[in-house]
Amino acid sequence: MSALPLPKPPAQQPKRTPRSNPHATQKRQQRHYQALAFEATLKIGVNIVISGAAIAALIQLLPYRAAQQTKLKEIQSEVSTTHERVGKVKADFNRYFDPRQAKSIIQEQTNLADPHQKSVVWEPELPTAEQP
């Protein structure tokens, strides 16, 4: 038997990768780093502007806060005075509407005496004349 020779596979040539230019890669990396640096600088700048605006707003609010604190102290003193007056008025109200004290209140305000009560009149003693 005669064997036919097997066809030879085509010779595989080593795959050639395109060489990248190292100078181009460095430029690409440099542009990437520049973009990152620009972004970071921009972020820092925006944050500084926002911080400056916040500080300016706080500085403007400090005098307003001091004025409000002064007003609050005045109002608190007025409230404490009013609480004292309310306590006195409540005590008078309870006294005036207490049925057990009605007679004494009527006597205080009208100078009328209870008919069952005896009046006491103090008369000063007259000096007696000395006899010789």
pLDDT over 70, % of the chain = 85
- Residue 42, domain extent: 26-110
Whether 84 maps to a domain, the answer reads yes
pLDDT digits (tens, 9 = 90+) for 83-124: 999 999 999 888 888 888 877 887 788 877 777 777 778 888
- What are the residues whose beta carbons fall under 8 Å from the beta carbon of 101, sequence distance 6 or more? 95
Whether 130 maps to a domain, the answer reads no
Please give the C-alpha separations between residue 107 and each of 1, 103, 121, in angstroms, as whole numbers: 155, 6, 16
Q: What is the model's pTM?
A: 0.45
Q: How open is the CA angle 73-79-82, to the nearest 5 degrees?
A: 145
Residue 132's pLDDT band (cuts 50, 70, 90): low
Residue 28 has a pLDDT of 87
Q: How many domains does the chain have?
A: 1
Cα separation, 46 vs 53, in Å, equals 11
Whether 16 maps to a domain, the answer reads no
* Contact by Cβ (8 Å): 109, 96: no
